[in-house]
Amino acid sequence: MPVLDVLGTADQGRESVHPGNPAAQAGQVMTNVETLLAEAGASVEHVVSCTVYLTDIRHREPVYRVLGRRLSGVYPVFTGLVVSALARPEWLVEVTVVAVRP
């Protein structure tokens, strides 16, 4: 079974697309994750682990709400960390997932 690591996914394209909005950033993160998994022949149904990095604990609720909707019916192990900063100052959330494709 191939293990897929989708590391350091953030609110990115050429530029951050949702500065200051943790829920919108989480939605973009999940879109990025879904795209990368699909390119590897997998989907969110294959996610077994999710690590969430937040720059502010107050963002936990809106971010986890979005992740919960996008991972509905999937029960990965979740780890949440609060960090002082991410690679770009406008990023409020970054997500790493591990998926196992049958």
Residue 1 has pLDDT above 90, yes or no: no
Question: Residue 14 has what pLDDT?
Answer: 64
Asked if residues 2 and 100 have their Cβ atoms less than 8 Å apart, the reply is: yes
pTM: predicted TM-score of the whole model, two decimal places: 0.92
Task: Report the SS3 class of residue 21.
Answer: coil
Stretch 39-53: mean pLDDT:
97
17 pLDDT band (50/70/90 cuts)?
confident
12 pLDDT band (50/70/90 cuts)?
confident
Cα–Cα distance between 18 and 1 in angstroms, integer? 35
Stretch 77-91: mean pLDDT:
95
